[in-house]
Amino acid sequence: MSDLFSQIVQALSRFTLSSALDILIVTILFYGTLMLVRGTRADQVLRGVILLFIFFSIMAALFHLTMVDWLLRNSPIVLLVAIPIIFQPEIRRALEHVGRTSALINHPLGTLSSPLQPSTVEEIVDAVQRLAERRYGGLLVLEGTTGLEDFVRSGVRVDGEVTSDLLVTIFFVHSPLHDGAVIIRNDRILAAGCVLPLSDNPAALGRGTRHRAAVGITEQTDAACIVVSEESGQISLARAGHLSSDISIERLTRFLEAFYHAHAYSSHNELVASGGG
């Protein structure tokens, strides 16, 4: 017992501030990884890998399996190649999140914002309400600080002012662009008929293509997405990979006002931080 106590005291005597910082960083990395893959297919893959590693480690120790033990000891080399392939969407999303939270990087490389017209929110709300009443399927993407130029190129460039009539015309059932998404930057419609990435999140798999696309684009960027169901006329709202259904017009209006206010406030702070305001 005294030997054990002396070993504990000796270990604690070597514990320094750098040791605490080292443990904290590793803990944050593990916690961040678990939060990043939670609710995705990568979550199931990670659990499977951990369970297999534990199982084969026990088997190798109990039955002295030399080859299995050698494979386990050399598995980190294989994981260095496999992890970027398996967790590519999650790694990309994490890097984009880091880029968005850095004001110094975000200002020179981010989207240059133009002043928002007061009527823009009213025009979007009116368009969504008309689409819902007429059962026209709609998919509207509101750009945040992450540029969506890659997705703009997949559609037809419009570069027009946001108006209710134009949005309803684009999503008219016989319009050639009604199946794609409309991408909006502040008070301008950048493009229509755009193709968005579909989410692999199990919670979104039971939804229609528009809803999966809305979740997909908000998983990869900080955009917000409004969906109007063609079958029911129900309005849904996607943000940060989460989808809220059966949104009222009043709630949608409040969200749009808050979204654009936060976006404008963020852009102003970035200008001040970089010495431009």
CATH 1.20.1290.10 at 119-273, yes or no: no
Residues of the chain predicted below pLDDT 70: 1-2, 4, 36-42, 89-90, 93, 96-118, 263-277
Specify whether the CB–CB gap between 93 and 36 falls below 8 A: yes
Residue 204 CA to residue 201 CA, distance in Å, equals 5
The per-residue pLDDT for 108 is 44
* Whether this model's pTM surpasses 0.85: no
Would you list the domain boundaries of the chain? Answer: 2-107, 119-273
pLDDT of residue 274: 39
pLDDT value of position 82: 78
Pull the structure tokens for residue 249: 């017009």
Q: Name the packing angle between helices 88-101 and 66-86 (round to 10°).
A: 50
Pick the closest to residue 78 from 57, 56, 49, 47 (CA basis): 49
Q: Please, are residues 230 and 139 in contact by the beta-carbon 8 Å criterion?
A: no
